[in-house]
């Protein structure tokens, strides 16, 4: 049994925008799967369907054998605990401390009143500091999140995801708002996480990043899978298929 | 610093500090309640004394409508005049009261003087200024305009100066590097950066002045408030109610217009960014 | 995906808007011109209050005239309404002041200023001419008499210090209670939360209308009502400040709620957090700091208001001011004025610094 099994997934935004049509694929534990495709091809929609930030219209998503699409809100919470997400625009709680942001990754384990009062147990705080150390910004813990640079904010986003100790990490264009050098560092962190046996599914725009980090690539076009294979095997032909004739000369590197 | 130490630093002490702050606020609250004797039951118990007032809302005396509209227009003109007359003074004073433009020893003296004076004038409510000006130039709209004017000058000077203090020096340096003099730097380096905020603050102040103009009549500053207050003193609520309704319509309308215009100025005609919806 | 323009009522209203604006502008110009003509040449159409009393035929003529002008301005392509509402591009080579828009704006401002000058009886001569009348006022201010600062004034049965503390606590109570009551109202008045069904929307409009009406009535007028209701004293003043603050804060709060961003909420949700945890960590931090700043600002405004609310029976330090003023005791008036100015100034400073830190 694969870790994640997606069958005949379909998403229609009201009134009638079909973002995903009949998507089926499986992801094994420990894969580094990259989703590529033009803007509007449905990458974000696909990733967000997996943890049901977006409600799929049809089809089934099984995570470790459990059906996601029909899970009750309680079951969904449990599933989400094991799936972390990193966002393109970081989505930090900007006016809160960096440490608090990281700690939100652990909310699910906390009793309600403790979390409402903001009384995090000591070992959680220590773990949060440790995660910040992992992503190389231990000294920023008590700054407000909006005081940080873009790259630093994305590291906080990753620390927050790590705090969850997830089995699967979803990263929707984690480096699109960052400069190339910072992108590299962030991708290195994702690779490190992947090396620890966690599955990573990410969408990327730069082909060389895809080739460098991915163990598998899925090409989306107009909500359909047009490529599924090893990133190294994407030649000019395949590239044209995914990105269309016009993109040929631009050659996204 | 190790992680251990850091947690300690923000640990229990941080929590207890918050507890103490909250406790102080609560204590002040309870003390204030008893000191002011804020008694909600009194509102219920004394409700009969306001019946005459509320019943007037049911049958307002529309015979004063014409008079009310005339006074309303006059009140608007008062607010407009106060704002328009305050604007040139505030613009000039705002440069003199901006720390970053006033660097030499003499200039620093001027800066301190301008800002200090503006703070003092701002601290005194327009209605108190109106009392002073009623003594000075007799009852009527004129002292009302003067009262709003002096308060507006002080308030706008403060807002404007703070704006000037936060301008970007880049454009100024660029102009300066071409060998331009002080006036040119001001016109090409400073003005483009402040013109929209100034417009927006002026509209905001116009809004405030309209509100203030409705009450400044209580002390003889003219406008619709003066008539409203005299009706209330004569216990003539049906007429007072008409005046109040007119005030509500005008203030609401100006508030709406002013905020729409300000939005447009601040976003440069673009759409307001939308938040999320449930 | 352009659909052909259908003839519907909203469309008609949209098309009419520029014309109505043009008509309004021309109407206002006519008003101002007639007003000025009258006040300089004939006074027969202006009554004692300075308002226009045109004959019926005059009204008909004005309405028809302005209607024609508005029609013409669209024909000749100088319609300001079209430019403002439909945002027709204006030629870029002209300076702003020379466009139709600029000319109209300038003309309107000049006319308004002119009419305003006359209608508000501005008389610069009086400032100089009657300056001697204010000498006792200035001398009082410069020789303040602080005797009753800590000594009880037998007439008012209080010290200035005591009423000063009253003033601050009045503002404090009004801000805190008003701020707490404003939060639920603010939610009901937030478009994004109340936009779903028609039932919610009705509640939304009622809430909005409620706090806009309450906000439009100045605290001082509310104080008159509460003074009638529960009698003179600090409690009446506090209720007045409270209800006005509540409405004003509810508006600000609803705007804050409307600008909540979805991203952080999704991020918290995606960790498996429960609904209340999502509210606590995703939504509340987006609202609370700004709202605290509003509260501080409101406290500041309320202290200012509380210093004068005694004018209509609302209690606080204003009692001393208005009493001494009625006794023409300028030295004590001076003292009270100075105390008010200093205290308001200090609070303004503190609240400003605190706000800077929060936001
Ligand atoms: N909330 C929404 N409502 C309606 N349509 C949507 C919504 N979100 C996305 N879509 C549509 O669904 C399609 C897929 O969008 P999606 O955001 O998944 O693309 P993407 O591949 O992530 O693009 P990008 O690279 O620009 O992020 C697009 O046609 C888009 O217009
Ligand atoms: Mg996307």
The pLDDT tens digits for B171-183 are 878 887 887 777 8
Longest dimension (CA), chain B: 79
Residue A62 — pLDDT band, cuts 50, 70, 90? very high
Mutate to test the interface with B, among C17, C48, C120 (most CBs of B within 10 A): C120
| Secondary structure in 3-state letters for A71-87 | CCHHHHHHHHHHEEEEC
- Strand order, beta sheet including A32-37: A83-86, A168-172, A199-203, A32-37, A216-221, A224-229
Residue C132 is assigned to a structural domain of this protein: no
Q: Is residue C302 part of a domain?
A: yes
| Count of the separate structural domains present in chain C | 2
Number of H helices, E strands in chain A: 10, 10
Q: C225 pLDDT exceeds 80?
A: yes
Query: Rounded to the nearest whole angstrom, what is the distance from the C-alpha of residue C192 to the centroid of ligand 2?
Result: 24
Q: Does the beta carbon of A247 lie inside 6 Å of ligand 1? A: no
3-state secondary structure at position A24: strand
Contacts of B85 (CB under 8 A, 6+ apart): B145, B149
Q: Which of B138-147, B242-251, C39-48, C176-185 has the lowest mean pLDDT?
A: C39-48
Strand, coil or helix: what is A238?
helix
A68-125: per-residue pLDDT in tens?
999 988 899 999 999 999 998 889 988 888 999 999 988 888 888 888 888 888 888 8
| Number of Cβ atoms within 10 Å of the Cβ of C308 | 30
The Cα angle at residue B268 between residues B251 and A179, in degrees rounded to 5: 135
Give the minimum alpha-carbon distance from A157 to chain C in angstroms, rounded to a whole number: 9
Tokens of B278: 């449930």
Closest ligand 1 atom number to CA of residue A11:
12
* Distance separating alpha carbons of residues A27 and A50, to the nearest angstrom: 12
Strands A224-229 and A17-27, sheet pairing: unpaired
Q: How far is CA C279 from CA A72, A112, C265, in A?
A: 20, 12, 8
Q: Chain B: nearest CA to A226, how far in angstroms?
A: 33
Closest CA to ligand 1's atom 18: A42
A183 contact partners, CB below 8 Å, separation of at least 6: A175, A206, A209
Q: Please tell me if the CB atom of residue A17 comes closer than 6 angstroms to any atom of ligand 1.
A: yes
Do residues C71 and C32 both lie within one domain? yes
Q: What CA–CA distance (Å, rounded) separates C111 from B151?
A: 24
Quick one: B86 exposed, middle or buried, by C-beta within 10 A (0-12, 13-18, 19+)? buried
Pairing verdict, β A17-27 and A4-13: antiparallel
Contact A129 B10 (CB under 8 A): no
Q: Of A119, C76, C128, which Cα lies nearest the Cα of B19? A: A119
Task: Give C297 or B17, the one with higher predicted confidence.
Answer: C297
- Range 118-157 of A in CB contact (< 8 A) with B: 119, 122, 125-126, 129-130, 133, 138, 141-142
- Per-residue confidence (pLDDT) for residue C152, from 0 to 100: 85
Helix (H, G, I), strand (E, B) or coil at B258: helix
In a domain, C137, yes or no: no
Q: Which chain A residues contact residue C288 at CB under 8 A? A: 95
- Interacting residues of B218 by C-beta distance below 8 A, sequence separation 6+: B127, B225, B226, B229, C220, C311, C312
Of ligand 1's listed atoms, the one at least distance from the Cα of A45 is 18
How confident is the model over C270-286, as pLDDT tens digits? Answer: 998 888 899 889 988 99
Chain B neighbours (≥3 Cβ pairs under 8 A) are A, C
Q: Under DSSP, is residue A63 helix (H, G, I), strand (E, B) or coil?
A: strand
Closest-approach residue (CA) in chain B for A128:
B3
When computed from its CA atoms, the radius of gyration of chain C, rounded to whole angstroms, is: 28
C84/C33 same-domain check? yes
State yes or no: ipTM above 0.90.
Answer: no
Q: What is the pLDDT of residue B4?
A: 56
Strand partners of residue A228: A218
Q: Which residues contact C108 (CB under 8 A, 6 or more apart)?
A: C25, C28, C29
Contact C229, C236 (CB under 8 A): yes
Phi-psi region of A90 (alpha: psi -120 to 50; beta: other; left: phi over 0): left
Q: Are residues C268 and C309 in the same domain?
A: yes
- The answer as to whether C133 is a domain residue is no
Q: Which domain holds residue C71?
A: 9-119
The DSSP 8-state label assigned to residue C317 in this structure reads: T
Burial pattern C163-172, b for ≥16 Cβ within 10 A else e, equals bbebbbbbbb
- Does any CB of chain A come closer than 8 Å to the CB of residue B10? yes
Query: Which atom in ligand 1 lies closest to the alpha carbon of residue A47?
Result: 18
Which are the contacts of C9, defined by CB distance < 8 A and separation ≥ 6? none
Chains touching C (at least 3 CB pairs under 8 A) are A, B
Ligand 1 site, residue A48, Cβ cutoff 6 A: no
Q: Is the pLDDT of residue B273 over 70?
A: no
Instruction: Compute the distance between CA of residue C61 and CA of residue A229 in angstroms, rounded to an integer.
Output: 81
Separation of alpha carbons A125 and B15, rounded Å:
14
C153: which DSSP letter?
B
**Residue A249: pLDDT above 80?**
no
**Residue-level pLDDT at C2:** 45
Distance C70 CA to ligand 2 centre (A): 49
Coil, strand or helix: which one is A220? strand
Are B139 and B220 in contact, with CB atoms under 8 Å apart? yes
Determine the Cα–Cα distance for residues A229 and A237; give it in Å rounded to an integer. 14
Residues C31 and C113 in one domain: yes
What kind of architecture, by CATH, is found in domain A1-82+168-174+196-253?
3-Layer(aba) Sandwich (3.40)
Are B125 and C307 in contact, with CB atoms under 8 Å apart? yes
Convert the pLDDT of each residue in B215-246 to its tens digit.
Answer: 999 998 888 999 999 999 999 999 999 999 99
Q: B152, B209 in Cβ contact below 8 A?
A: yes
Pairing of β A199-203 and β A32-37: parallel
**Whole-model pTM?**
0.85
Query: How many beta-carbon pairs below 8 A join chains A and C?
Result: 86
CA-nearest residue of chain B to A129? B3
Strands A4-13 and A58-63: antiparallel
CB A29 within 8 A of CB A224: no
Helix, strand, coil shares of chain A, percent, nearest 5, are: 40, 25, 35
Q: Is residue C316 part of a domain?
A: yes
Nearest to B141 by CA among C126, C327, C128, C225: C126
The residue-averaged pLDDT of A55-75 equals 91
Nearest-CA residue for atom 22 of ligand 1: A44
Q: Is C324 exposed, middle or buried (0-12, 13-18, 19+ CB in 10 A)?
A: buried
Are residues C173 and C108 both part of a single domain? no
Instruction: Give the pLDDT of residue B5.
Output: 58
Residue C114: pLDDT over 90: yes
* Spans of all domains in chain A: 1-82+168-174+196-253, 90-165
Query: How many angstroms is it from A87 CA to the middle of ligand 2?
Result: 10
Tell whether C263 lies on the interface with A, counting CB pairs under 8 A: yes
- The CA distance from B213 to B76, in Å, is 8
- The pLDDT value given to residue A115: 84
CATH number of the domain within which C257 lies: 1.10.3720.10
> Rounded distance, CA A230 to CA A228, Å?
7
Average pLDDT over chain C, rounded to whole?
Answer: 85
What is the rounded average pLDDT for all residues in chain A?
A: 87
* Closest to A96 in 3D by CA, of A141, A144, A136: A144
């Amino acid at each position: 049994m694969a870790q994640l099994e997606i069958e005949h997934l379909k998403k229609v935004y009201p009134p009638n925008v079909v973002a995903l049509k009949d998507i089926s694929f499986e992801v094994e534990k420990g894969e580094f799967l990259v989703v590529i495709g033009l803007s509007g091809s449905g990458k974000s929609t696909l990733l967000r369907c997996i943890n049901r930030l977006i409600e799929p219209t049809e089809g089934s998503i099984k995570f470790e054998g459990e059906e996601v699409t029909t899970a009750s809100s309680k079951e969904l919470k449990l599933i989400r605990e094991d799936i972390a997400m990193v966002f393109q625009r970081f989505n930090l709680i900007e006016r809160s401390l960096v440490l608090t942001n990281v700690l939100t990754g652990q909310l699910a384990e906390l009793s309600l009143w403790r979390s409402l009062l903001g009384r995090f147990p000591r070992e959680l705080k220590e773990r949060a500091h440790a995660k910040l150390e992992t992503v190389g910004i231990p000294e920023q813990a008590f700054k407000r999140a909006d005081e940080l640079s873009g790259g630093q904010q994305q590291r906080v986003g990753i620390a927050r995801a790590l705090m969850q100790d997830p089995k699967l990490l979803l990263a929707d264009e984690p480096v699109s708002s960052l400069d190339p050098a910072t992108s590299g560092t962030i991708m290195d962190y994702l690779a490190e996480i992947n090396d620890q046996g966690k599955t990573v599914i990410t969408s990327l725009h730069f082909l060389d990043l895809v080739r460098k980090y991915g163990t598998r690539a899925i090409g989306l076009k107009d909500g359909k899978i047009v490529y599924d294979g090893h990133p190294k095997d994407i030649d000019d032909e395949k590239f044209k298929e995914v990105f269309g004739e016009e993109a040929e000369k631009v050659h996204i590197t | 610093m190790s992680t251990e130490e850091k947690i300690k630093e923000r640990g229990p002490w941080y929590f207890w500090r918050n507890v103490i702050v909250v406790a102080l606020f609560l204590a002040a609250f309870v003390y204030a309640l008893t000191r002011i004797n804020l008694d909600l039951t009194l509102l219920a118990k004394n409700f009969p004394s306001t019946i005459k007032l509320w019943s007037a809302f049911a049958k307002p005396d529309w015979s004063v409508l014409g008079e009310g509209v005339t006074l309303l227009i006059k009140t608007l003109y008062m607010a407009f005049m106060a704002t328009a007359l305050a604007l040139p003074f505030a613009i000039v004073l705002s440069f003199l009261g901006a720390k970053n433009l006033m660097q030499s020893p003499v200039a620093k003296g001027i800066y301190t003087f301008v800002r200090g004076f503006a703070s003092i004038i701002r601290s005194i409510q327009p209605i108190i200024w109106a009392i002073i000006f009623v003594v000075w130039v007799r009852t009527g709209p004129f002292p009302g305009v003067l009262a709003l004017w002096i308060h507006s000058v002080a308030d706008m000077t403060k807002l404007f100066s703070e704006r000037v203090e936060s301008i970007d020096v880049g454009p100024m340096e660029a102009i300066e590097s071409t060998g331009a003099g002080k006036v040119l730097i001001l016109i090409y380096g400073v003005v483009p950066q402040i013109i929209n905020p100034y417009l927006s603050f002026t509209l905001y102040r116009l809004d405030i002045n309209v509100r203030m103009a409705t009450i400044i009549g209580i002390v003889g500053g003219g406008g619709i408030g003066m008539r409203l207050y005299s009706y209330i003193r004569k216990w003539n609520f049906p007429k007072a109610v008409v005046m109040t309704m007119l005030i509500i319509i005008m203030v609401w309308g100006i508030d709406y217009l002013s905020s729409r215009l300000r939005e447009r100025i601040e976003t440069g005609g673009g759409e307001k960014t939308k938040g999320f919806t449930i | 995906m352009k659909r052909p323009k259908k003839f519907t009522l909203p469309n008609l209203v949209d098309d009419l808007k520029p014309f109505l604006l043009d008509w309004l502008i021309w109407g206002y110009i006519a008003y101002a011109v007639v007003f000025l003509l009258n006040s300089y040449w004939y006074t027969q159409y202006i009554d004692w209050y300075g308002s226009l009393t045109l004959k019926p035929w005059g009204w008909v003529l004005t309405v028809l005239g302005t209607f024609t002008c508005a029609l013409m301005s669209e024909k000749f392509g100088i319609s300001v309404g079209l430019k403002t509402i439909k945002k027709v591009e204006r030629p870029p080579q002209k300076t702003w002041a020379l466009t139709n828009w600029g000319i109209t704006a300038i003309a309107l401002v000049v006319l308004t200023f002119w009419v305003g000058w006359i209608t508000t009886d501005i008389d610069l001569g009086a400032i100089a001419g009657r300056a001697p009348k204010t000498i006792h006022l200035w001398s009082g201010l410069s020789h303040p008499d602080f005797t009753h600062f800590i000594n009880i004034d037998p007439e008012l049965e209080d010290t200035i210090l005591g009423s000063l503390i009253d003033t601050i606590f009045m503002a404090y109570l009004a801000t805190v209670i008003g701020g707490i009551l404003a939060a639920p109202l603010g939610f009901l008045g937030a478009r994004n939360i109340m936009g779903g069904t028609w039932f919610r929307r009705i509640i939304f409009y009622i809430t909005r209308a409620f706090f806009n009406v309450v906000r439009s009535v100045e605290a001082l007028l509310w104080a008159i009502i509460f003074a009638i209701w529960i009698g003179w004293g600090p409690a009446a003043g506090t209720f007045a400040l409270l209800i006005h603050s509540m409405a004003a804060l509810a508006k600000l709060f609803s705007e804050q709620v409307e600008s909540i961003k979805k991203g952080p909420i999704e991020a918290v949700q995606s960790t498996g957090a429960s609904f209340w945890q999502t509210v606590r960590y995703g939504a509340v931090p987006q609202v609370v700091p700004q709202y605290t700043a509003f509260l501080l600002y409101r406290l500041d405004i309320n202290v200012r208001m509380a210093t004068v609310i005694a004018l209509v029976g609302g209690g606080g330090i204003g009692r001393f001011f208005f009493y001494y003023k009625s006794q023409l005791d300028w030295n004590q008036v001076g003292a009270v004025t100075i105390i008010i100015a200093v205290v308001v100034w200090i609070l303004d400073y503190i609240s400003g610094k605190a706000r800077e830190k929060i936001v």
